[in-house]
């Protein structure tokens, strides 16, 4: 097995493939200025950003010395008998000197490092490349970092993470993939939103033309409509078109958003006291569909569309506050938002089993962002008070001790719905949605001189953790923002989109 996405990304190899192209080991170590291959790395200063590889939750790192003349390999989060080593190539990776400085994690240990090895050989003058490789002691797979040259600097991570995301874009479909049909639809809407937010915040317009391309692929604004449509999917696409309008000023994008909002509006019924139903075929009321509808309708009114959209936004928020089901989801005071309710056979409004009472991270972000937008349309400051309560609960309760977003029910599947096809699961986008909306609430609060709690530090912490512990290769990102990654193939466009959201949310803070 040889899994290579591109030359800049981490790779996963079988043990046979790892040695098939290896060149013979050198007869003598390279020495420069009195320092030879294999020298101890103790006390050596390393670059702030180095490439990683992952194999069965072990992190493999090529640690480049600050003078870029030597590097060493390390393995972390491992177990005794795990191995790590350096490969060196003189022909751009076609062949290599393998397993230089190979070392095993000792008994009772969790980590190990090799000695340092030179990139280049002054006699004869040869320019080389290094990578770090490693494996679990009880498994055959080998993970390697990308090849690195001494003159190579780390990429600009925010920009490069967008490039990786766009590598998963299929222009013939106007969608990202691979993705199972249902997940692919709503995750693609969020990928488009993350891309637009990136362009809006940074000014980088390299992918500006993709907006019109996607719009042309989906004249209605939606990839498809069927009897089983999920109306939260509609909301994600409508909000992406609002973002597109904000960036481009193209009225047809706002028309798409408004047409989709009309379709969603027609799904209001009286089950559980009101609210928009989740999908056409049943009467489940979930928080995400209704939170997105608040944000969408408030957005339309803020952009001078019909005043009735503000009425719709307020009606939906009133259902959260006072409707039977809405109050079960939002609570009687600001706090964590729950997922879904429905009417059981006895006509009682209850939490939809088995996940209805779960407090997924994206629910908190979506409602907080929706209320911030509704404040913009109505001027009702009490909305920001409630949004702040939700944000404070999320940033203090849905986190690890390190302050990184984590909610166990959305982390368990490792980010894949279908491992064989590498289809991302829903949860891959959840944390990205959360920080995207928290940044919007933060910006609104700063403009008004309102308290922002720990939100700035929180947003910065998420991107920092992704760089340190959630990254593979140079700029691929996994589901777990505090790590570890199981294997490189668990990185998908869904996890990448969330990472772009995290960098967007931290940008300029």
Each residue's pLDDT tens digit, 270-297: 999 999 999 988 889 999 999 999 999 9
231-248 helix and 287-302 helix, angle to the nearest 10 degrees: 30
In this structure, the answer to whether residues 326 and 437 fall within a common structural domain is yes
User: Per residue in 217-233, pLDDT tens?
Assistant: 999 999 975 546 899 99
Give me the pLDDT at residue 237, please. 97
Cβ within 8 Å of residue 62, ≥6 positions away: 50, 51, 71, 72, 73, 86, 130, 131, 132, 145, 148
In this structure, the answer to whether residues 185 and 264 fall within a common structural domain is yes
How much of the chain, in percent, has pLDDT values that exceed 90? 86
Give me the pLDDT at residue 147, please. 98
In this structure, the answer to whether residues 466 and 342 fall within a common structural domain is yes
How much of the chain, in percent, has pLDDT values that exceed 70? 94
C-alpha count within 13 angstroms, C-beta hemisphere, residue 214: 28
What is the residue-averaged pLDDT of the chain? 93
414 in Cβ contact with 483 (< 8 Å): no
507 — pLDDT class (breaks 50, 70, 90): very high
User: Per residue in 328-375, pLDDT tens?
Assistant: 999 999 999 999 999 999 999 999 999 999 999 999 999 999 999 999
Q: What is the CATH number of the domain that holds 402?
A: 1.50.10.20
**Is the per-residue pLDDT at 25 higher than 70?**
no
Instruction: Pick the last residue of a domain from 93, 127, 154.
Output: 154
Other CB atoms within 10 A of residue 190 CB: 27
- Full domain range(s) for residue 487: 158-506
Other CB atoms within 10 A of residue 248 CB: 16
User: Per residue in 241-271, pLDDT tens?
Assistant: 999 999 999 999 999 999 999 999 999 999 9
In angstroms, how far is CA 5 from the centroid of its own chain? 18
Sign of the Cα pseudo-torsion (37, 42, 44, 48, in order): positive
> Token pair of 76, please?
């972390």
184 in Cβ contact with 174 (< 8 Å): no
Mean pLDDT, rounded, for 79-105: 97
DSSP string, 5-74: S-TTS-EEE-HHHHHHTEEPPPSS--EETTEETTB--TT--B-S---EEEETTEEEEEEEBTTSSEEEEE
In this structure, the answer to whether residues 277 and 407 fall within a common structural domain is yes
Give me the pLDDT at residue 183, please. 73
DSSP string, 97-130: EEEEEEEEPPTT-S-EE--BEES-EETTEE--EE
Q: How far, in Å, CA of 422 to CA of 494, rounded?
A: 10
In this structure, the answer to whether residues 225 and 314 fall within a common structural domain is yes
Q: How far, in Å, CA of 258 to CA of 238, rounded?
A: 7
Give me the pLDDT at residue 98, please. 93
Q: How far, in Å, CA of 203 to CA of 162, rounded?
A: 13
Q: How far, in Å, CA of 237 to CA of 345, rounded?
A: 33
Instruction: Pick the last residue of a domain from 123, 154, 185.
Output: 154
63 in Cβ contact with 101 (< 8 Å): no
- Higher-confidence residue of 414 and 247: namely 247
Give me the pLDDT at residue 16, please. 41
**Is the per-residue pLDDT at 182 higher than 80?**
no
Backbone phi, psi, residue 172, to 5°: -70, -20
Q: How far, in Å, CA of 420 to CA of 178, rounded?
A: 11
Q: Tell me whether residue 18 is exposed, middle or buried, using C-beta atoms within 10 angstroms of its C-beta: 0 to 12, 13 to 18, 19 or more.
A: buried
**Is the per-residue pLDDT at 7 higher than 50?**
no
- Higher-confidence residue of 147 and 9: namely 147
In this structure, the answer to whether residues 348 and 428 fall within a common structural domain is yes
Give me the pLDDT at residue 405, please. 98
| Element holding 423 (H helix, E strand) | strand 423-424
Mean pLDDT, rounded, for 115-140: 95
Instruction: Pick the last residue of a domain from 112, 137, 154.
Output: 154
In this structure, the answer to whether residues 99 and 181 fall within a common structural domain is no
In this structure, the answer to whether residues 263 and 217 fall within a common structural domain is yes
In this structure, the answer to whether residues 181 and 87 fall within a common structural domain is no
In this structure, the answer to whether residues 120 and 178 fall within a common structural domain is no
> Could you tell me where the beta strands, DSSP code E, fall in 91-250?
96-104, 112-113, 117-118, 121-122, 125-126, 129-135, 142-144, 148-149, 169-170, 175-176
User: Per residue in 444-474, pLDDT tens?
Assistant: 999 999 999 999 999 999 999 999 999 999 9
In this structure, the answer to whether residues 143 and 166 fall within a common structural domain is no
Other CB atoms within 10 A of residue 333 CB: 7
> Token pair of 252, please?
């047809």
Give me the pLDDT at residue 14, please. 45
Mean pLDDT, rounded, for 93-109: 96
Other CB atoms within 10 A of residue 413 CB: 16
DSSP state at residue 176: E
DSSP state at residue 346: T
User: Per residue in 35-69, pLDDT tens?
Assistant: 999 999 999 999 999 999 999 999 999 999 999 99
Give me the pLDDT at residue 21, please. 55
84 SS3 class = strand
Report the number of distinct structural domains present in the chain.
2
Give me the pLDDT at residue 229, please. 84
Q: Which of 105-114, 195-204, 274-283, 347-356 has the lowest mean pLDDT?
A: 274-283
Q: Which residue reads 């003349």 in tokens?
A: 69
Other CB atoms within 10 A of residue 318 CB: 12
**Is the per-residue pLDDT at 6 higher than 50?**
no
Other CB atoms within 10 A of residue 344 CB: 12
> Token pair of 60, please?
């493999």
**Is the per-residue pLDDT at 27 higher than 70?**
no
In angstroms, how far is CA 349 from the centroid of its own chain? 34
> Token pair of 177, please?
């993939």
In this structure, the answer to whether residues 274 and 293 fall within a common structural domain is yes
**Is the per-residue pLDDT at 3 higher than 50?**
no
**Is the per-residue pLDDT at 1 higher than 80?**
no
């Amino acid at each position: 097995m040889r899994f290579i996405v591109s030359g800049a990304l981490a790779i996963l190899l079988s043990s046979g493939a790892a040695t098939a192209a290896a060149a013979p080991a050198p007869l003598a170590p390279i020495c420069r200025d009195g320092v030879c291959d294999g020298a101890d790395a103790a006390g050596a200063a390393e670059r702030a950003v180095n490439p990683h590889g992952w194999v069965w939750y072990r992190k493999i790192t090529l640690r480049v010395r600050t003078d870029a003349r030597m590097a060493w390999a390390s393995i972390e989060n491992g177990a005794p008998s795990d191995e790590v080593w350096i490969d060196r190539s003189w022909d751009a990776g076609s062949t290599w000197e393998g397993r230089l400085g190979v070392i095993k994690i000792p008994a009772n240990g969790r980590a190990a490092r090799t000695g340092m090895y030179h990139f280049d050989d002054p006699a004869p003058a040869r320019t080389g490349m290094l990578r770090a490789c490693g494996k679990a002691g009880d498994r055959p797979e080998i993970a390697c970092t990308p090849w690195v040259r001494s003159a190579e600097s780390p990429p600009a991570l925010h920009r490069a993470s967008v490039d990786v995301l766009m590598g998963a874009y299929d222009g013939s479909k106007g969608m990202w993939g691979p993705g199972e049909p249902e997940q692919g639809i709503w995750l693609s809407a969020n990928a488009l939103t993350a891309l637009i937010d990136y362009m809006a915040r940074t000014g980088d317009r390299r992918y500006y033309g993709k907006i019109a391309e996607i719009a042309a692929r989906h004249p209605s604004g939606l990839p498809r409509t069927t009897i089983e449509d999920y109306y939260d999917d509609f909301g994600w696409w409508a909000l992406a078109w609002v973002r597109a309008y904000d960036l481009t000023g193209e009225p047809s994008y706002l028309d798409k958003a408004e047409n989709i909002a009309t379709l969603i509006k027609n799904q209001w019924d009286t089950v559980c006291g009101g609210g928009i139903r989740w999908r056409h075929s049943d009467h489940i009321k979930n928080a995400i569909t209704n939170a997105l509808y608040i944000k969408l309708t408030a957005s339309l009114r803020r952009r001078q569309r019909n005043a009735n959209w503000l009425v719709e936004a307020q009606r939906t928020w009133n259902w959260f506050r006072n409707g039977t089901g809405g109050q079960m989801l939002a609570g009687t005071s600001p706090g964590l938002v729950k997922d879904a309710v429905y009417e059981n056979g006895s006509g009682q409004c209850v939490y939809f089993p088995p996940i209805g009472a779960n407090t997924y991270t994206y629910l908190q972000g979506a409602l907080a962002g929706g209320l911030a937008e509704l404040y913009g349309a109505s001027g009702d400051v009490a909305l920001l008070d409630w949004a702040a309560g939700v944000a404070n609960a999320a940033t203090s309760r849905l986190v690890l001790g390190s302050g990184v977003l984590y909610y166990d029910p959305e982390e368990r599947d490792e980010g894949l719905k279908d491992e064989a096809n590498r289809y991302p699961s829903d949860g891959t986008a959840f944390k990205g949605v959360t920080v995207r909306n928290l940044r919007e609430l933060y910006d609104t609060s700063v403009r008004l001189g309102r308290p922002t709690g720990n939100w700035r530090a929180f947003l910065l912490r998420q991107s920092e953790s992704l760089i340190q512990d959630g990254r593979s290769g140079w700029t691929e990102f996994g589901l777990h923002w505090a790590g570890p990654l199981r294997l490189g193939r668990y990185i998908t466009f869904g996890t990448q989109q969330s990472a772009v959201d995290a960098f967007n949310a931290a940008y300029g803070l």
